[in-house]
Amino acid sequence: MACYPRMSPSYRLWKLSLNSKCPESLDSGRVATIGNFDGVHRGHQEVIRSLVAAAKQRNLIATVISFYPHPSIVLGRATAPSVLTPLRQKIALMRELGVDELVMLHFTQALRELSPHDFVRSILVEELDVQHAILGYDTRIGKGRTGDASVIIPILENYGRTGESLERLDFGAGVVSSRRIRAAIESADIGLAAQLLGRRYKLSGRVVHGEHRGRQLGFPTANLLCPTQLLPPSGVYAGFATHDGESRIPAVTNIGVKPTFNASGSSGPRVEVHLLDRSLDLYKHRLSFELVERIRDERKFAGVEKLIEQIKSDCVSAHEILKQCDKD
């Protein structure tokens, strides 16, 4: 994956090539879409499929334009909201969908102050040579987020370019959106989150050393570090772990503060993954955990023996859940 930085007085961007076709070596322009694309959910996927199809039809580069850091930081909040898809995961999903290039715009106060016209002229037309734009129903650019499709497309047409706006995608009781997926995860509705995402929700990160308490109890765990990602409520979950590209490994994870040993919960929530029927040294490796079903709440036990008994029961439950999952 190549990265090509560009700078101007009002903005900075990075171009990341997601396939073997190097955009910098081509004379053709781009078909582009704009957004944060957190989750790369079913609605995003519809936009990206339209993007890729339009780029192939025109023999242009399929480009997704996104932002870093999260705009909420520049808008005055102390920290960005927890993400559904860390950048590494987002890139992998976009590559699978056929995106040629990801352009990351450094979101600054200066970029925020650009009018929709200046954004289209300086970034889409002059910098990226966007010939056609695919816009989601909720796409907004420019100062005050005043640049929606009804504003962007006429500006593009003034420069001899074209654009189109896609309708929103609904599922069940409402729109498919990152906000709705976050609400589902925060309420432990793992099934709804998976339906809206078009795949199961996955926690990803690097394995770090913990207190090795799981190994002492006979159930070694990998402590998964995913500090920027949205965690579901504390509890025990069945799912599949993926390690260095291996096929999915049945696993069970505890998310929480381990109240049996940490009465105050002062250490904050942790993600501890136990592989079922496998033993691997995962320290310093990257690991993903695909959540399938919540088994129970996290709770404090009267002693270590009671905790071990419950962990054994959790493993049996996880086996049954995942066995049925494979059948389905």
Active site residues: 272
CA gap 32, 20 in Å, rounded: 18
CA-based radius of gyration for the chain: 22
Pick left, alpha or beta for residue 39 (phi over 0 → left; psi -120 to 50 → alpha; otherwise beta): left
CA gap 39, 201 in Å, rounded: 9
CA gap 273, 123 in Å, rounded: 43
Ramachandran angles phi, psi of 30, nearest 5°: -130, 150
DSSP result, 187-236:
TT-HHHHHHHHTS--EEEEEEE----HHHHTT---EEEE-TTBPPPPSEE
